[in-house]
Structure 1
Amino acid sequence: MEHPFARNYESQALKSVSFPTLRFYSRLAGIFWDAGKVAKAGKYDGKRWTEDSERVGRLLEDMGIHVSIEGVENLGFEGPCVFEANHMSTLETLFLPCIIQPLRDVTFVVKRQLLSYPCLGPVLAAREPIALGRANPREDLKLVMDDGQRILASGRSIIVFTQGTRRSGVETSDFNSLAVKLARKANVPVVPIALKTDAWSEGSLIKDIGPIKPSLPVHVRFGAPLEIKGAREEHGTIVDFIKSSFDAWVASDGKA
């Protein structure tokens, strides 16, 4: 548990930063460039992934964004798990590794398209994610179930965004049951992750490059691990945790 984000974390963000969007992306490009070179050289391991992810977290703070992380104590159990989270922005893909990877080896279920991105693609590929094409849902389900069981059996955990695509809000009907089905098949628990990451908003031309909004805090909250015996009831419990957390943050912080 001894890493910069191992406890319930409250950042000491700057009060005001001029041109946060321009500054953020110019510095993020440097992080990506360095990471991509290491990944292309075949040397991108979990330690380097954690370090680069932490650089992204500190960059958020430098832009004046308040970052809050809760519930890391729920990750103190042995063995792999499936993490189920809502999906708002690119931020969580880049920031979650520095919280989770020091405690348990982890990878993602991602869009195959991301693997073609310059710099980011080689980094994600180095972490051996489950990459989905999304053209054939049945094939994607089989891929997640087959590869997911293999990955979990090896001791590595998996992060699944079960809204399927990025959403500005949280509605219970948005979530599929992929995470609980995989966890039940592999006999591992599910750890819910509630996220509010709209400080990094979507762009109008390029979805991944939107305005940075320092007035909106970043929230990450881990729930207790949940053993999956059936699927439907546990799925409801997980989604309720995510939605109630998100709704409380919206009430206290506002939204984009």
Structure 2
Amino acid sequence: MNVLLPIRILLFYLLLSFTAFAWCLVSLVFAPFMSFRTRYRFVVQTWCRSAVWLAQTIVGLRYEVSGAENIPEKPCVILSKHQSTWETFFLSAYFEPLSQVLKRELLNVPFFGWAIRLLKPIAIDRENPKEALRQVAKQGLERLEQGAWVLIFPEGTRVPVGQVGKFSRSGAALAVNAKLPILPVAHNAGTFWPKSGWGKRPGTIQVVIGPAMHAESEGPRAAAELNQRAEDWINGTVADLESKV
């Protein structure tokens, strides 16, 4: 297996790239005529499930989910640890419809970015953090009112295993303003799919969905307190997962 692993990884990327290109072309033709929920299932959920399946079948990246019983019936704000690309695929397939906060530059990627534009993402300019916060607050509330989950990686970018990034309060502030809970998600995907390089390590990724967290009051202080609770739970759970690998 170790000898063949580099070949498997190369095959995985070739198939992932081919399916992404082909599916983006198909989506650009048919998706504009679909409702948002149907469009999401057709464009995102189908392809992301195939990406997770390819990683499992070819590279040996299996996964286990615990805490699914904590998912509220009504869509809310999801705060997740960000270590790799895998969790982006997984969460986009697991929750639907979902609107993700992402960097604006991704919308300019040929075919891929064009397809993303059809899915109501919250595309922010990281060079303008104040405007980004206002955008997340405004568009995030609109997405929630439209019945979509809002996924935010509060660290803003992928953080290597064993490291912790600063948590933005934008997700907590959005949850407080919308009077909805935060759903925290922890995982150890970076152990098997590192942030840097093409290398992959077969194994079972653990995904833990925590209990929904509600603000105890309103306003900036409530958002700061809620954000800290989510940060403590996510970082603590991730540290526990990593210690067991």
Query: Fold-level match, TM-score > 0.5?
Result: yes
Matches within 5 A, 1:32-181: 32-43=20-31, 45-48=39-42, 49-61=44-56, 62-75=58-71, 77-101=72-96, 105-169=97-161, 174-181=166-173
Gaps of 5+ in 2: 33-38, 217-221
TM-score (norm 2): 0.85
Q: Is the 8 A contact 2:215 2:226 kept in 1?
A: yes
Task: Output the CA distance in 2 between the equivalents of 1:119 and 1:25.
Answer: 17
Which of 13, 17, 38 matches 1:25?
A: 13
**What is the one-letter code of the residue matched to 1:249?**
L
Give the corresponding residue for 2:194: 201
Q: Is the 8 A contact 1:86 1:170 kept in 2?
A: no
Give the corresponding residue for 1:225: 212
Q: Is the 8 A contact 2:65 2:206 kept in 1?
A: yes
Task: Output the CA distance in 2 between the equivalents of 1:80 and 1:225.
Answer: 11
Which of 161, 171, 180 matches 1:188?
A: 180
Q: How many residues matched?
A: 231
Task: Output the CA distance in 2 between the equivalents of 1:192 and 1:128.
Answer: 22
Q: Deviations over 1:92-146 (max 9, x none)?
A: 2222122112xxx211000111112233212322211000111111111111111
Q: Could you tell me how far 1:172 is from its partner in structure 2?
A: 5.8
Q: Deviations over 1:18-73 (max 9, x none)?
A: 52320110110122012211232251712222121111111111311232222222
TM-score (norm 1): 0.82
Q: Is the 8 A contact 2:52 2:86 kept in 1?
A: no
SS of 1:200's partner is: coil
Q: Comparing 81-90 with 230-239, which one deviates more in the overlay?
A: 230-239
**What is the one-letter code of the residue matched to 2:181?**
P
Q: Could you tell me how far 1:171 is from its partner in structure 2?
A: 5.4
Task: Output the CA distance in 1 between the equivalents of 2:30 and 2:99.
Answer: 17
**What is the one-letter code of the residue matched to 1:94?**
F
Gaps of 5+ in 1: 1-15, 204-209
Identity %: 26
Question: Larger % of helix: which?
Answer: 2
Q: Could you tell me how far 1:178 is from its partner in structure 2?
A: 1.2
Q: Comparing 17-26 with 56-65, which one deviates more in the overlay?
A: 17-26
Q: 1:124 to 1:220 in 2, by over 3 A?
A: farther
Q: Is the 8 A contact 1:172 1:240 kept in 2?
A: no
